[in-house]
Amino acid sequence: MTTPFITIENLCIDFPADADNPAGEQVRILNDINLEIAEGEIVGVIGRSGCGKTVLIHLLRGIEQPPTAGRIIYHISRCPACGRIEFRSSAGRKCSTCGAVLEAQDVDFWASENTALKTKIMARTSLMFQRTFALYGDDRVIENVLRALDDIDYPAEKAINRAADLIDEVRLTHRMMHVARDLSGGEKQRVVLARQLAREPLFLCADEPTGTLDPKTATIVHDLLKQAAKSTNMGMVITSHFSQVLEDVCDRAVLLDDGKIVKIGEPVEIVAEFMKDCADDLEYTDQEIGNPIVRADKLSKKFIAVDRGVIKAVDTITFEINEREIFGVIGVSGGGKTTLSKMIAGLYEPTAGGGTGGADW
């Protein structure tokens, strides 16, 4: 039998139509959302850009603005002595911190009288952001995870072992001593996950956690998320406009359109419904391509890092880009796309090779 963890009731949020006039006309961004999420359940939210996925995640996580109407109820248990928050299904058991008996409680998350409880619940939930990596760029991977443990006052003498276990859990042991800034996007997102798991969350809100990753790297991160959730009974809500995420990771999915829930069901069913509206019926007309404007000749860029030695980020590549041409660069995470773009834009000097056009090589 499943135990409910979160109940969303008639949730609505309005935002000003014009950000410069907060008191003016309001637009309903989420409209009468009703959903129940069970302990340990992974729910996917899919929908077009702007349909309200991020706004919903923020409300669930408790950041930014309160809802305009409706409620979010967290069904938890709480230690009457030390205030520790646990799953509802742990009610009646002993608190792992102080030994008192945990009591069942339903918390109206955004109610003003529950501000202190909300903060306590937020300490047991985690967030993975859309597109940004919340990391200390200059610090090593292990230091990043140690800082997360320090934030929750994890006992210092056990922290190193715990950090190493977490890094192993996200399959990054080989990168433990590397500086976070130099990692690829997929690796960075795995460090973010290790930092979030350090908090032993009951619930994780993941907003497009793999939105900037290539499909192969994204699948690795999805598998890790799923494993982490299943091994700790952590529930999760994960948003995406990539349908594969839902099929890979979720127990159940929700299709959101223009702030309303259109359908809730099995991930395959919801993806099929979502894809119905995505038929590629645009007509493309060929552009006449002009003369070359950018030429790269055996272009290379090497980086030297104390911990990784020589990194050949871009290795002797040659290409031409013509006027009015849309030139695509595709490759796995860490494949050199950003480095190449920065050379074309003149932000990086090539180590070898050269060219004409683009930046002045």
Length of the chain in terms of residues written: 361
When asked if residue 54 is in the footprint of Mg ion (CB under 5 A), the reply is yes
Cβ nearer to ligand ATP, comparing 121 with 256? 256
Contact segment (CB under 6 A) with ligand ATP among 51-59, 140-148, 217-225, 299-307 equals 51-59
Please give the Cα distance from 126 to 46 (Å, whole number): 20
Please give the Cα distance from 162 to 145 (Å, whole number): 9
Binding ligand ATP (rule: CB under 6 A), the pick from 6, 8, 51, 249 is 51
Q: Which residues contact 214 (CB under 8 A, 6 or more apart)?
A: 186, 330, 331, 332, 333, 335
In whole angstroms, how close is the CB of 22 to Mg ion at the nearest point?
Answer: 22
In whole angstroms, how close is the CB of 61 to Mg ion at the nearest point?
Answer: 13
Binding ligand ATP (rule: CB under 6 A), the pick from 2, 24, 34, 50 is 50
Contact segment (CB under 5 A) with Mg ion among 52-60, 188-196, 223-231, 258-266 equals 52-60
| Percent of the chain as helix, strand, coil, to the nearest 5 | 30, 30, 40
Phi, psi at residue 158, to the nearest 5°? -105, -5
Nearest to 262 by CA among 32, 56, 27, 25: 32
Cβ nearer to ligand ATP, comparing 70 with 336? 70
Burial class (CB within 10 angstroms; exposed 0-12, middle 13-18, buried 19+) of 115: exposed
Contact segment (CB under 6 A) with ligand ATP among 3-11, 50-58, 267-275, 292-300 equals 50-58
Q: Which does 199 bind (CB under 5 to 8 A by kind): Mg ion, ligand ATP, none?
A: none
Interacting residue ranges for ligand ATP, rule: CB under 6 A: 15, 19, 29, 47, 49-55, 130, 241
Interacting residue ranges for Mg ion, rule: CB under 5 A: 53-54
